[in-house]
Amino acid sequence: MTRSPAAGGAGLTRPGLAWALPATAFFAVFALVPLALVAVLSFTAWNGVDSPRAAGLANWTALLHDPVMLKSLWLSALLTTLGVLVQTPISLLLGVWAAGHQRHRAILSAIYFVPLLLSATAVSVLWRALLDPNFGLPAQAPWLFGDGNLLGSRDGAIGVLAFVGAWQWTPLHTLIYQGAARAIPQVLYQAAAIDGAGRLRQFWHVTLPQLRTTMVTSTVLMVVGGLTTFDTVLILTQGGPGTETTISAYYMYEQGFKSFDFGQASAIALVLVLVATLVSLAMVRLSGYDAMRAGTEGI
């Protein structure tokens, strides 16, 4: 799309394809080739010791009938949904609040930000230590934690994963909402105030509609992040108790690197890629990013 005839003038020299080559080649070798290999491996039987053997559709039919796989998909969806339901309202409210000009706001925002400085590994390790039933918080606060068997029970383990996810990621989404809330023109609030709208109605009729695209972005981030959660599960629950927190991303690791069924693991990996791609495409559609890009491409 050209904006003006002048912009397309012959005097302009543009970078050739060769400029894009190094990055593309690098990406191809370390991302696209492995991706193609995943697809190939999903049709083989391979234990990591022998060479991969062609296995036809065996992995895929096994996957279809594998109760743990079906459950892992359901668990991935459950944890993702929980993440969205917990994090969205909190980060939305906090973000809008932090975009204002209250006293102490800067200090509080700085503290809220700290969990983001920790890696997912560090966060998981921290909470695993804090939630130890005998030497951690539950031993001292039985009124809150009961007997403290959080990671050993189904509901407890799922709750912990959802909570730790929220603890770590809410600050990021708060930040995203804060940025977006700052960008809302004050005029809209003034107009609403003149119409006699109170704070609640202003929030409902001005803030929320203005943050719609941001909500899409933030939600998609949560969904993609939730589907690919791995460190947290490995460190906090190892998919247990039993298989109660074996989400798909962890199940793939377990099938591959613990049960040494790399063919099966590859099939699960491909399912993950497909789901993540579908979600991302939906993101592009919903957020209208594609249209924006088309409008600015090739200026």
190 part of the interface to other proteins, by CB under 8 A: yes
Query: Distance between CA 186 and CA 53 in Å, rounded?
Result: 65
Asked if residue 194 binds other proteins (CB under 8 A), the reply is no
The nearest distance, CB 72 to other proteins, in angstroms, is 13
Helices assigned H by DSSP within 99-185: 105-113, 120-130, 137-140, 142-145, 154-182
Secondary structure (DSSP) of 216-280? HHHHHHHHHHHHT--HHHHHHTTT-STTTT--HHHHHHIIIIIT--HHHHHHHHHHHHHHHHHHH
CA-CA distance, 167 to 187, in Å (whole number)? Answer: 34
Q: For other proteins, which residue of 45, 58, 224, 286 counts as binding (CB under 8 A)?
A: 224
* 179 is an interface residue for other proteins by CB under 8 A: yes
Q: Which of residues 10-69 bind other proteins (CB under 8 A)?
A: 11-27, 29-35, 37-38, 41, 47-50
* Bridge-based pairing state of the strands 53-54 and 44-45: antiparallel
What track of x and - describes contact with other proteins for positions 137 through 176 (by CB under 8 A)? Answer: x-xxx-----xxxxxxx-------------x--xxx--xx
Among positions 55, 122, 188, 197, the unique one binding other proteins when judged by CB under 8 A: 122
Interacting residues with other proteins between 234 and 293 (CB under 8 A): 234-235, 238, 240-243, 249, 252-254, 256-262, 265-266, 269-270, 272-273, 276-277, 279-281, 283-284
Smallest distance from other proteins to CB 87, Å: 12
Picking from 271, 274, 263, the residue whose alpha carbon sits closest to that of residue 56 is 263
Among positions 92-121, residues that touch other proteins (CB under 8 A) are 93-94, 97, 100-103, 108, 111-121
CB of 106 to other proteins, least distance (A): 11
Q: Residue 176: which of 96, 112, 102, 108 has the closest Cα? A: 96
